[in-house]
Chain A
Amino acid sequence: MILAVIISCQGERTMAVAIGAVVAVLLVLVFIFNGLVVKRNRCENAFATIDVMLKKRYDLIPNLVETVRGYAKHERELLAQVTELRAKSVSGRLPSDETVVLNNQITGLLRRLLVVVEDYPDLKASKSFLQLQRALNEVEEQIAAARRAFNAAVMDLNTAVQMFPSNIVASMMGFRQRHFLVTPREEHEAIDVGERLHPRDRTPD
């Protein structure tokens, strides 16, 4: 009789330990899962921020094109290209990868535009153009910052997806690694006023 009680007591204790262990494991899993969700949402959020910054640039482009058109008669083709690319991006039906490529092209064209402008001293001196140029510099750097923030969020997520033990939860719940956004080469360089003033001195890449 006593033996039976002892055995049943031990059984209860083992049971309690087992339940405790299961609860602990579950808690850890929940913790890891939630961590992964936070990281994934950060990526989404960062990507959305890039979008916001790109929209700011879209809003700037028509003004810029109009201002330049008034002074620089010979740059019609370049301006048409910029306008066309902008229209394509704004239509909003493109998958995000394509949006990135399009916007990189816009970045390249705008940079070319700012170089070309050097040939038109009247335009360079005009107040509205100077203001636009400042606004554009600002938005370009904001886009770069948003892109860097996105890449940092992606790195956090990818590390968690690869590392043990979060990789187990990640593969069970379908968390995938994301691609980094590749920064166009010229954006690695710091903005240099001298370069803006004497762009022709620069050796081509």
Chain B
Amino acid sequence: MSGDFRSYYEAEVRPVLAALEERRRRAGRAWSMVAGAIALLTGTAAAVAAALSSWGFAIGAVILGAICLLGGWHLLFRSIIRRAKVAIIGALARFIDPSLRYEPDRYITKAEFRQSGLFRDSINRYRGEDLFWGRVGSTGIRFSEVHAQHRQSSAGSKGTHTTYRTIFKGLFIIADFNKHFRGMTVVLPDVAERTLGWFGQKLQDTFDVFRRGELVKLEDPEFEREFVVYGDDQVEARYILTPALMQRLVEFKRKAGRQVYFSFALSNVYIAIETDKDMFEPRMFRSFLHEEVVLEHLRDLQFATSVVKDLDLNTRIWSKE
């Protein structure tokens, strides 16, 4: 933990945690009494029923008791965990930049997701959570977790079978780009080069050429190995993807260590980073008391906001301020 963060943590996070911990203790005491009463009642009812050989009633009583226990626990503790999450993740966001806000239930909308032009499959199920928004330096930024799925129906012997295929799951970032432009340029992982021989994929790529605009061949061999670029305008694509930015994108992909998609549209840069990890999600209240867990949330957040520095978006030497 860096000195900066430690003092911030002690001043901002610790008191919130302490207050919530006290609340949790009180709730815990109340809970042990309620749980004991429920268990006692259930036990007695089940024992009586068993003595009368009314097994159905006995099992019913046990199940009802279990449901009451689980429901009660959920009611009492989920709200505390949630408050802790909002308070702590919100504080971490403010540590990164005082203007950065956190809303756990909101997410990048489906319309915004579509505007990126990155994923063309029809989206039948779309979910998300953990929206952060604000500015990092002079760059406006919004990001959240997103899960977009496509419905597939296949007719089998037992009727139609419906499954959901994931189009994208991970972190979706929208940042204000530092140059003006009009069209759309997308930078995709170069799948064709890696899965050469997959005829279907090739075919799909061919169709992509028609749907996404022209193929833009760039000079940087390292960049070309990692990505394939399509754009409405050859010159504009190069105006955006300067040699310096190409290097930065390659480095960012390496740092992320996962599949990364970029798109430049509507004066924004859209960045989609695939991941299965459920970020900013504490399972238990106690997890917040572990420094390591808090630090991991901070690292996730720093990674998301690092795009501004990594893509040099705060450099505003062009006509867009």
Contacts and interface: CB of A to CB of B under 8 A. Distances in A.
Interface of A: 46, 49, 53, 131, 133-135, 137-138, 141-142, 144-146, 148-149, 151-153, 155-156, 188, 190-191, 193, 196
9 contacts: A133-B317, A141-B179, A141-B318, A145-B242, A149-B234, A152-B217, A152-B218, A190-B242, A190-B244
B319 A146 contact: no
Interface string B211-232: 0000011110000000000000
A153 B218 CA distance: 11
B235 A149 contact: yes
Contacts of A190: 242-244
B317 A196 contact: yes
Interface in B131-176: none
Interface in B266-321: 315, 317-319, 321
A135 B319 contact: yes
A138 B242 CA distance: 12
Contacts of A155: 217
B190 interface: no
B21 interface: no
B94 interface: no
Contacts of B315: 191, 193
Interface string B241-273: 011100000000000000000000000000000
Given A145-B238, A149-B238, A193 B219 contact: no
Contacts of B244: 190-191
A142 B282 CA distance: 47
B5 interface: no
Contacts of B321: 134
Contacts of A144: 238, 242
A155 B237 CA distance: 17
Given A46-B234, A49-B235, A142-B235, A148 B219 contact: yes
The A interface is mostly helix, strand or loop, or mixed, namely helix
Interface of B: 179-180, 216-219, 234-239, 242-244, 315, 317-319, 321
A47 to B, nearest CB: 11
A133 B319 CA distance: 9
B308 to A, nearest CB: 15
A62 B219 CA distance: 34
Nearest to B236: A145
A134 B318 contact: yes
B319 A138 contact: yes
Nearest to A132: B319
A151 B219 CA distance: 9
A146 B235 contact: yes
A148 B318 contact: no
B317 to A, nearest CB: 5
Nearest to B245: A190
Contacts of B218: 152
Contacts of A135: 319
A148 B238 contact: yes
Contacts of A156: 217
Contacts of A152: 216-219, 234
Contact of B235 (A131, A134, A138, A145): A145
A135 B320 CA distance: 9
Contact of B243 (A146, A151, A188): A188
Contacts of B236: 145
A101 to B, nearest CB: 22
Contacts of A53: 235
A131 B234 contact: no
A133 B316 CA distance: 11
Given A153-B234, A155-B217, 4 more contacts: A138-B180, A141-B318, A145-B239, A148-B219
B179 A138 contact: yes
B6 to A, nearest CB: 31
Contacts of A188: 243
Nearest to B314: A193
Nearest to B239: A145
A71 B317 CA distance: 22
A46 B319 CA distance: 24
B317 A134 contact: yes
B4 to A, nearest CB: 24
